[in-house]
Structure 1
Amino acid sequence: MELILILQLLISIGLINVWFFRFNKATEFRGGNAKNMREEFQAYGLPAWSMYLVGAAKVVIAILLIVSIWFKELLIYNLLALAVLMIGAVLMHIKVKDPIKKSYPALSILFMIALIFYFTMG
C-alpha cells in the first residue's frame, strides 16, 4: 500500500534529518531550553552516552524502515522499537515540564506508527 510506503519514508527521513542535519541546531521542539542535542539530553538529566545510544538506535531504525520496504517481516520490530523510543521522548518532555508543542514530533511519529499498524495488521 502506498500510504505505508510514504509513512515509512517520512519517518526515516525525519529521523535522519534530526540526527544528522539538526543535531547541533536549535529547534522549537528541543527539551527544556536546549539549543542542540547535547543540551537537550542534559536538560533531561540523562548521561552523555545515552545520547549516542538513542541516536544510533534511531538511525539504525531509520535505515531498517527503508530496508523493510523490501523485507516486510522487519517492519513490526522496527515500529515497536521506535514506538518505545518515541514514548520515552514524550516522557522526557513531561519530566522537564515542557509545553505539549515540544512533544509534537514524537507524537506525530507515534501517530504514523499507529497508522502503519492499522493498515498492515488490522
Structure 2
Amino acid sequence: MDIFSIVLQIVLALGFLMFGFMKFGSKQMVDEFARYQLSSGFRVFTGLVEVAGAALMIIGIWYDQIAAIGGLVLTVTMIGAIITHLRVKDPASKTGMPIILLILALVVLFLNWGALFG
C-alpha cells in the first residue's frame, strides 16, 4: 500500500464522516437540500453514501480493493454534488470543495485501480 494513498484515504474518511453526518439533520444541510429542491430522504441517502464511502476508505487502508471501491463511490458522489451545484448556479466558492474531493477520490481510485482486477 502506498503511503500517499493511505494519507489521502484518512483525509477523505475524516471529511466524509463529517459531511455525511451533517446531512442527517444539521440546519445548514436541511436548508441547502431545500435550496437544491431535493427531498430530505435524498439528503439522508446522500449522508449514508458519504459515511459508507468514509468507512470504505478506512477499511481500504488494509485492503487495496476496498480503497478502490471507496474511491469509486466517492467519485460518483462528488460528480453528483458538482452537477447539483452547477444546476443551481452556485458560485465557485461552493463548488470548489466537491471538485477538490472529487480529485482526491480519483487519486485514491487510480492508485488502487489494479487491485480491482487482481
Normalising by structure 1, we get a TM-score of 0.82
Distance 1:95 1:54 in 2: 17
Runs of at least 4 residues of structure 1 off by over 4 A? Answer: none
Q: Once the two structures are superposed, what CA deviation does each residue of 1:43-84 show, in whole Å capped at 9, x if it has no partner?
A: 111111001111011101101110111122212222111111
Pair 1:16 & 2:17 matched: yes
The aligned runs of 1:67-78 (5 Å cut-off) are: 67-78=59-70
Question: Residue in 2 aligned with 1:94?
Answer: 86
Q: Is 1:106 aligned to 2:98, yes or no? A: yes
CA distance 1:50–1:19, shift in 2 (3 Å): same
Aligned length: 112
Q: Which residue of 1 aligns with 2:107?
A: 115
What runs of 5+ residues in structure 2 fail to find an aligned partner?
none
Instruction: State how 1:14-93 maps to structure 2 within 5 Å.
Output: 14-20=15-21, 24=26, 36-93=28-85
Cα separation, 2, equivalents of 1:56 and 1:99: 26
Q: Tell me the percent identity.
A: 29
Distance 1:19 1:61 in 2: 9
Structure 1 residues without counterparts, runs of 5 or longer: 25-34
Verify the 8 A CA contact 2:22 2:47 in the aligned structure 1. no
